[in-house]
Structure formats: structure tokens, C-alpha cells
A and B are shown apart, each in its own frame.
Chain A
Amino acid sequence: MVLYKDIVDVIVEEFSQTVDFVAKELDWKNEHVILCYYSSMIDTAVVMEQLQTIQKRFESGKAKWGETAFTKENKFTMKQLKESICAGETVIIFPSSDNMISILLPKIASRGPESPENEYVVRGSHDGFVENLDVNINLIRKKLRSADLKIENRVIGTKSNSTVSIIYLTTKVDTEALDTLKERLDQIETEMMYSSGQLEDYLEDSIWSPFPQFLNTERPDRVIANLVEGKIVILTDSDPTALIGPISLFTFYESPDDFNGRVLVGSFYRLVRLASFFTAIFLPAFYIAVASFHFEIMPLELGEQVKSSVSNIPFRPIFEALLLELMIELIREASIRLPSPIGQTIGVVGGLVIGDAIVSAGLASNLMVIVVASTALASFVVPSVEMNTTIRLLRFPFMVAASLFGFFGIVIGSMILFIHLLNLQSLNQPYLSPVIPFEPKKIKAVFFRLPFYKQIPQHRSFYFFSKKGSKRNG
């Protein structure tokens, strides 16, 4: 008996004597066993039921009595014990035979698969991922009933032991991208894996780029559409966000709504969204350049209006624009942090009251309010939060460049941005595909919602493909 007590003490010590850890002796026919679990991570009734099932199998003398659908037999080691217990399993240790049986039924807290608030769609599925890997995989499998769908797991984080799932369709996946992704996952060395954002940092090709190189989504329908296109999905056990790669810039402008609505309507709004990319980045810079340097470019009447509205403002257009942009950013941040009914009020108060007051006080012109508000609207059109924040950030350097050099500054800035986008890759694949490298057959799918969902694998590299299939690059 002393022997068992010693083992229990050692185990309790190994688990830091935490109050929710339970390790106790149990009678098992002619011997004693030790039962270990975290009381916070199991459902006692379910575990007891399983325990009874195993005991019955043991007593009936079955050959592999310890192996059932929900149990697993292992050699006992302290490392294995820690991994199992931390995963929410209940472990029965058999000191006499140095074996252990794990009951694989952890109780993981999870909410229901509700519609994600940051990716709202008008029509279509309202399912959303949750903070539970099994539920998320279930949501995918529910819609993609294919034996081709393969899921591979990696455990990341020496302390957190977080599970990361790589999901892809074996018949569609681009193997080069898959190998790259696996290689990067295997190279991760960290103690803790907090979120999908942290994982993204490890997996991205260029971490200092303002552009996201993985598509973030909480929508199973979006994940499935991308899986069918040959892309790879990464899910973590602590986050409802799925990372999708390799992607191109244009992937961020596709919304499930495009494919749920009419062909023409979907195409029209796709074009509006793409145009919003340019509006959101360049409109304030363009206005600043015109107001500061290039009045003459506009028709006489409009030029006069701009002149007269600017002449009553005590600041240069750049300060006017920065003031308003900052105000918009503050309103945005405030409305995110507050509960939604108050958040909406903040939006109204900020947008209408402060906006009107700023103009009345003569701190900004009416035209600048129109420009900044249109820019904010254009940036919110993007169906991806990451891309939205990216383009919101990008307009600031363009505004500064326009205030210093006018159109010349915008042109120089645009060229730097373009070269950066040419350099950028997602899992080693070109970010501007299929526009660069130019693929005429695929390009229409970028700008228009075609009458049927045509699954086209993304371009793999900077190569062009000839009719015969030989590849040429640049």
C-alpha cells in the first residue's frame, strides 16, 4: 500500500498539486490501480460509465479488454501521462504491469456554431466555427462529404500542447504548397500557441508586409469553397478562425454572398468591392494632392469649390485629413470595444455629431468630410477584416506622400506598393495571381461571379503554362 501512496504523491507533485487534479487508488479485482484526471475537464458520469465498461470487459476475460472506441492502452510514462491528462483524458495506471488506459472523453467547453459577427452574409449558411476543433471539423465534414478530405494534426507548443489541424482535399491540393506548410509547421519552436494570429506569424512568407498572406475566416462555407479550389485550411484547437492558403490578393474580395446571389448582382458587387480597394487607399491622397498642388487638373467650377472650401480652414489639407481619419479610427475602435447597442450609438454620435461639429468649428472642410467618410465606407466593403485593416493603414503613407509631392508622391508610392505586391507570396505562390503572372482564362473569375462555381486551382508559381503543359517562368 505504501508503494501506491508514493506513486500517487509523485504524480500529484508532477501536476503541481493543483486543486483540480485528482489522483486516487482504486480496487481492480486483485490489485490496485491509480485513477488520474482533471476534475475540471471531465464529465464524471460519462467517465464512470466508461470505467464500468472496461471493468466488465476485464472481468469477462476479453483479449484486448482495455481497447474500446473511447479508450486507448499505452505504456505508462510520466510524459505520456501528462499529455493525456492535459488533453482532458482520464487515465487508469496499472503499476504492476507499467501500463495505462486513457479514457478519451474530455469535457471541452464550447459554444454553439453561431453565425460569425465579423463575416455577416445576407443569404446563405449562418454556421460559424467555434473554439473546438472537433466541432469545426464536424462542420466541414457535414458540408463536404468526401473521402478525399484529409486531416493531419500537429502538436505545437511545449507547454500549451495545442493541436493544429491541416485540412485539404488529397485530389485537389497543391503538393508544393502543402510541403511548404508542413515544413514551416515542423520548424515552429515555442512554448505557447495562443491563437491563429500567432500561428500566422510563423507561417507567413513575409511577416513585415502589411498584406495578410492567409485568408482568415470563421465561415465553414468559405473554407469549403477554398478546399475545393485546392487550398489548404489550418485550424487550431483554441480559435474559431481558420487560416486558408495559398491565396492571392483577389481572394480577399470574394464573398459567399457573390455565389448565393444572382450572377449579374454578384459580379456587380465584386467589381464594386475591387474598386473600393483603390478608393480606400488613394482617395484621401488624391484629394490632398489636388487641394495642395493640382487645382488646375479639375474643371474650373469644381476647382473653385475646392479652393474656397480649403481657404477657410486654418490647417493644410494633410492635417485636416489626419484629424478626420484619426477621429474615424477612434470611433471604429470605440464601437468594437463596446457592447453592440452602445457601439451603434457611438457610431451615430461620432459620425454625425462630431463630424458636423468639426465642420462648424472650421477645423475641416465639408469636402474633406465627404472624402474621409467615402474612404471609410470603401474600406469597410472588403469582406475580410485583415484586408480591411491593411488598406486602412496603407492610406496614411499615401496621404503623407501626396502632401509632400502631390501626384508625383502618389505615383512613387504606388510603384513601391506594386513592387511589394510583386514580391509578395503566399506559401511561395504569387500574390497577384492570376493577373500577374497573367492567365487570361482565369482572370474573368477574379472580376466576375461566373454563372457556376468553377473550381480552378490557384496558380502555383511565377510560371506560365503552355498549352502542352510545359512551364515557363519569369
Chain B
Amino acid sequence: MAKFTISNKQLFLFLFILQTGTVFISFQSRVINAAEQNAWIVFVIVSGLHLLLLILFDKYYKYFKMNKFEKWLYQLYWYSIVVIFLTYIDFVLKLWAFPLTPAFIVISLMAIISLYANLSKYAVIFNISVILIPFIFVFFAMLSLSTKDLTWTNFFPIGEIELKQWMEGFGKTIYAFIGIEAYLILRPFVQDKKQITYRKIALYQLIFTLFFVITIIYSLLFFSLKEIQIIPVTIMYLLKSQEITFLQRLDLFFTYIWMTWSVISITLFMFLGLHLYKTMYTRSIKFTVFIHIVVSILPAFFITREMVKKLHDGLLYTHLFFGILFPLFIMLRGWRKSLREKNS
């Protein structure tokens, strides 16, 4: 069993990078296409529901005890996410940065980063995200350059969509919450158990929501709804249209920030899987190397536009299961078991 402790700041930073990672440039157009001007409202509502989920997780995380089969199931889920994300990253990099470089080289190099971090001590995993903190501010500074070009009337009308569109919007929004179950895995390792209060969870969720809502609003105000229908990654195109004195292509610069962000997010997902593996088996180095080889080979089979879309759509449903339903079921089972033990 792994022995480490983390602070509440490390937990929330881990969760933030894990959840934002690869998805933060790709989901805006999906949500806006589904819920139009109400996309940000949809996001705020879903975010509120996830806040409740986090509070629930925090209250009952002690009952989240998985058996061996469930641990393998979760590992499979996280390794699949890594494969899908690697596929997507390579797809985007092929479009924006280097179309000629073979996929396996790009993916292998990214997998090597994850391998190196996961073979290092635990402190590396929990501190690696710190490198991204300045990039968060750089990202918003870049985004703010487009403020002068925003069309504020794109904001309206609000509320004029049908129930079906609302529901579709909710579905697409869930994409931004992939990885929330990591809270249950890491919460027991927070040293001072009382340190995490509901207020802190709410603050985390507020920062998380603001991060995404700002990107949705900028996308919504910069492009018309018709433009967004044909632009899959609005943030990239938005930055492509900006210029500063010493940098012609902000988007290209941002691509590498996003790539760093994504690679770290992948590293964290791999850590979650390997952590569960280590709770079952003591010898883990060979498996760590093996699983990294596997996840760097698999994406080569999926790098087409259609496949990327299909995999992404599939993720929504698996998230509903592994991020919400399954954890609730395990916690309920654990709670009932502890109740029985108490009574007997």
C-alpha cells in the first residue's frame, strides 16, 4: 500500500489539472452548438450539481472501498481516457504544429514524460502541476487580448431554447468534469482530515467554473453561432486571430502550453491507475513500463477525425458511470456494510 500524504492545496491542484487538462480547448464548441447562448448557464448549473457531488464524495469517501475487480475496472477506464486523450492531442498537433512527424514519435515522447514522473517519488506527481500555474495566467492574458473584438450582442437572447437543447447541453458539459472520481481516491491521503471544509470545496468549484465559463463566454462572443458550428476548437482560432508586437502566432505558442497541460493531465491519470495497481501488487515498475508502452501504441490506431469524435462521445457515457453512478454505488455498499458491522 502506498504511503504518502498530501495537503488540501495539492489535492485541489491535482484535481484542477486532471479535469481541465486536454478538454479545456475542445469542449466549448460542443456545448455552444448544443445550448447556444445558454451554454454558460448550462455549465454553471452542471457545475453546481458537481459541487453537490464533491460534497457528497467528501462526506462519504470513507465508504469508497473497492474490491480487486472494481480496481481493475477503474484502471481500465483511466488508461482508456489516456489513450483517447493522447489520440486527441496528436490529432490537434498534427493539425496545428507538425503534420509530417509520425504519430508514434510524438505520442511516445509524451508517454516518456508520464513514465518518468510515475517512476519518480510521489512528491513529483503532486508537485508537477505547479509548472502550469503561471501558464494559467498567461492563457487568460492571451485570451484577454481578444476582448476588443468581442461582439457583446452575441450574448443574447438568453433562455430561448427547448428542453431537448438544454438536455443536450447538459450532456456535452459533463465532458469538462471527467476525472472527478479522483477526489475519492486521493481524499484519504490528505494529512489533516479536517482541513478540507465545504467552503474550500465550493471555492475550488468556483475557480473551476470561472475558468470554463470565461472560455465559453469568450468563444460565444467572438464567433457567431454559425461560425462555431464549423470551428471545432474555438480557443485556438480565437488566439490565431490575435497578434502582439513580438509574437505573430499566439495560437502556436498556446498549442505548446496546452500540450504541456495535457501531458501533465495524462501523467496524473496514469498515476491514478498505477496507484490502484500498487494497492494490489507490490512489484510495479515492470507494469508501469508495460502500461506506458501499451498506451503509447494504441492511439496510433485511432487517429482519424471520425474516430476521435466517436471516442470523445463515448467518454461522456463512461464518465456518467465511473464518475457518478459507480462511486455512489460503491459508497452506498460500503455504508451499508459498515452499518451491518456496527449492528452486529
Interface residues of A (CB under 8 A from B): 293-294, 296-300, 302-303, 405-408, 411-412, 414-416, 418-419, 422-423, 430, 435-438, 462, 464, 466, 470-474
- Stretch from B51-59, B226-234, B252-260, B272-280 forming part of the interface with A: B252-260
Is B95 interfacial (CB 8 A cutoff)? no
Alpha-carbon distance between A436 and B125 when the two chains are bound, in angstroms? 12
In the complex, chain B residues whose CB is within 8 Å of the CB of A466: 192, 195
As a 0/1 sequence over residues 243 to 261 of chain B, the CB contacts with chain A under 8 angstroms (1 = contact) are: 1011111001100100110
10 additional contacts (CB under 8 A) given A296-B252, A299-B248, A473-B6: A298-B248, A408-B101, A408-B259, A412-B113, A416-B116, A419-B116, A436-B127, A464-B7, A466-B195, A472-B6
CB distance from B250 to the nearest CB of A (A): 9
Closest chain A CB from B274 CB (angstroms):
15
CA distance A435 to B124 in the complex (A): 13
B263 touches A415 (CB 8 A): yes
Give chain A nearest CB distance to B16 CB in angstroms.
15
- Min CB gap B269→A, angstroms: 16
Rounded to whole angstroms, the CA-CA distance of A171 and B192 in the bound complex is 29
Closest Cβ neighbor of B264 among chain A residues = A415
Is B5 within 8 A of A437, CB to CB?
A: no
Q: Give every chain A residue within 8 A of B243 (Cβ-Cβ).
A: 299
Task: Identify the closest chain B residue to A470 (Cβ).
Answer: B192
Nearest-CB residue, chain A, relative to B257: A411
Q: How far in angstroms is the closest Cβ of chain A from B263?
A: 7
A472 touches B116 (CB 8 A): no
Q: What residues of chain B lie closer than 8 Å to A405, measured between beta carbons?
A: 98, 101, 109
- Between B101, B127, B131, B243, the greatest number of chain A beta carbons within 10 A of the residue's beta carbon is seen for B127
Question: How far apart sit A430 and B192, CA to CA, in the bound complex (Å)?
Answer: 22
27 contacts between A and B (CB under 8 A): A293-B98, A294-B249, A296-B248, A298-B248, A299-B243, A299-B247, A299-B248, A405-B101, A405-B109, A407-B256, A408-B93, A411-B256, A411-B260, A412-B109, A412-B112, A412-B113, A414-B260, A415-B113, A418-B128, A419-B124, A430-B123, A471-B191, A472-B190, A473-B4, A473-B6, A473-B123, A473-B191
**Which secondary structure dominates where chain B touches chain A?**
helix
- Give the bracket for the number of chain B residues in contact with chain A: 35 or more
Asked if B35 is an interface residue, CB under 8 A from chain A, the answer is no
What's the least CB distance linking B87 to chain A, in Å?
Answer: 17
Q: Is the CB of A296 within 8 A of B98?
A: no
Q: Does B121 sit at the interface, judged by CB under 8 A?
A: yes
Tell whether B72 is near chain A: CB-to-CB under 8 Å: no
Give every chain B residue within 8 A of A302 (Cβ-Cβ).
Answer: 246
Residues of B within 8 A of A303 (CB): 248
Q: Which residues of B contact A414 (CB under 8 A)?
A: 260
Note all chain A residues with C-beta closer than 8 A to B5: 472-474
Instruction: List the A side residues contacting B195 at CB < 8 Å.
Output: 466, 472
Residues of chain A within 8 A (CB-CB) of B9 are 438, 464
Q: Does B106 contact A (CB under 8 A)?
A: yes
Question: Does B97 reach chain A (CB closer than 8 Å)?
Answer: yes
Contact of B97 among A408, A418, A471 (CB under 8 A): A408
Nearest CB in chain A to that of B249: its residue: A297
CB distance from A470 to the nearest CB of B (A): 6
Residues of A close to B128: CB separation below 8 A:
418-419, 422
B93: chain A residues at CB < 8 Å are: 408
Kindly report which residue of chain B lies nearest to residue A298, judged by CB atoms: B248
Nearest 8 CB-CB pairings of A with B:
A474-B126, A472-B191, A462-B123, A472-B7, A474-B10, A422-B124, A474-B6, A464-B7
Query: What CA separation (Å) do A462 and B128 show in the bound complex?
Result: 13
Identify which of residues 280-306 in chain B touch chain A, using a CB-to-CB cut-off of 8 Å.
Answer: none
Report yes or no: A474 in contact with B252, Cβ–Cβ below 8 A.
Answer: no
Q: How far is the CB of B275 from chain A (nearest CB, A)?
A: 14
B183 close to A (CB within 8 Å): no
- Is B120 within 8 A of A419, CB to CB? yes
Task: Decide: A474 and B123 in contact? CB cutoff 8 A.
Answer: yes
Which residues, 111 to 141 on B, are CB-close (under 8 Å) to A? 112-113, 116-117, 120-124, 126-128, 130-131
